[in-house]
């Protein structure tokens, strides 16, 4: 895909990966519509000429308003980046159901409805790309974030299904599964704290800018899946080839071995 001149709608764009994607796609010539809860954060992240819409993307009203405003301003949506999400470090067996539902609403149902709102416009034009930002936790379950992993597995399956459903309409999908990225993710979780080994592992994390660059390059080559850094593929492969050993290692990191 040639990004120059395309309209990109990015959720969760006030900080972290979303804000970095806004900067990266703007450098590539995209016209931007940015959405997140924080109006000040959006204003800091927004390049010149970007449309910003503040609101809670866990609410259907916000999702509809974001798409309507984008279409009113630009008349098209070429790229949808579903990046907004939230985590939880509370064990799944004792997590409050209200928090579990909130997590699934933002991590799965919000992207699903954004797709349902945007896909008709893309189908009418016979083109478009849907980017769903998942996690390495959507490729291998992280026991310190089981509910988060479950939501990201669901998002990955949705992305693959959409690819087949919309193939004849000229619409592509791309799944993004970052490993550790230096963002404020851990400060915004719904509850719990990451194990010490996980926190120490963040010293190997990539920057949000590096992740955004991988996303841009993935868009340009019509990639199916992007997993930055590429070393993350090794962990995924090990989890599939040696599941028992990997589960034991992850349980030890979680302090449950």
Report yes or no on 56 lying in a domain.
yes
Length of the chain: 257
pLDDT band at 257 (very low <50, low <70, confident <90, very high): low
Q: What is the pLDDT of residues 127-147, one digit of tens each?
A: 999 999 999 999 999 999 999
Q: Is residue 242 part of a domain?
A: no
Which pLDDT value is given to residue 19?
Answer: 98
Residue 257 inside a domain? The answer is no
Report the CATH number at residue 102.
3.40.50.720
Within-domain flag for 111: yes
Q: Which structural domain range is residue 109 located in?
A: 7-230
pLDDT greater at residue 203 or residue 214: 214
Q: Are 7 and 50 in contact (CB under 8 A)?
A: no
Mean pLDDT of 171-182: 95
What is residue 256's predicted lDDT score, i.e. its pLDDT?
Answer: 63
In this structure, is residue 247 part of a structural domain? no
Bridge-partner residues for 182, per DSSP? 207
Active site residues: 148
User: Which of 169, 167, 82, 180 shows the shortest CA–CA distance to 131?
Assistant: 82
Confidence at 225, pLDDT banded by 50, 70, 90: very high
Peptide bond into 229 cis (omega under 30): yes
pLDDT of 37-86, one tens digit each?
999 999 999 999 999 999 999 999 999 999 999 999 999 999 999 999 99
pLDDT for the residue numbered 197 = 86
For the chain, how many structural domains are there in total?
1
Q: How far apart are CA 246 and CA 108, in angstroms?
A: 26
Residue 238 DSSP code: H
Quick check: 104 and 92 in contact, CB under 8 A? no
Q: What is the DSSP letter of 37?
A: S
Residue 235 within a domain: no
Residue linked to tokens 């539902």: 101
Provide mean pLDDT across the span 1-6.
97
């Amino acid at each position: 895909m040639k990004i120059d001149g395309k309209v990109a709608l990015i959720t969760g764009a006030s900080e972290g990966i979303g804000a970095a994607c806004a900067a990266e796609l703007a450098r590539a010539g995209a016209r931007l519509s940015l959405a997140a809860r924080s109006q000040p954060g959006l204003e800091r992240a927004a390049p010149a000429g970007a449309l910003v819409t503040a609101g809670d993307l866990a609410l259907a009203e916000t999702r509809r308003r974001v798409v309507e405003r984008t279409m009113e301003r630009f008349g098209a949506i070429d790229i949808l980046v579903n990046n907004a999400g939230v985590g939880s470090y509370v064990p799944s067996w004792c997590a409050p159901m209200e928090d579990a539902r909130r997590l699934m609403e933002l991590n799965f149902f919000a992207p699903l409805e954004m797709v349902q709102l945007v896909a008709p416009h893309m189908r009418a034009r016979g083109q478009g790309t849907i980017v769903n930002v998942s996690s390495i936790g959507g490729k291998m379950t992280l026991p310190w974030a089981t509910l988060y992993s479950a939501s990201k597995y669901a998002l990955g399956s949705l992305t693959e299904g959409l690819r087949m459903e919309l193939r004849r309409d000229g619409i592509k999908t791309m799944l993004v599964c970052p490993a550790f990225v230096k963002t404020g993710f851990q400060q915004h979780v719904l509850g719990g704290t990451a194990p010490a080994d996980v926190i120490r592992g963040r010293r190997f994390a990539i920057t949000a800018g590096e992740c955004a660059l991988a996303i841009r390059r993935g868009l340009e080559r019509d990639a199916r899946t992007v997993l930055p850094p590429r070393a993350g593929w090794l962990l995924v492969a090990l989890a599939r080839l040696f599941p028992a050993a990997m589960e034991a290692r992850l349980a030890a990191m979680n302090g449950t071995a």
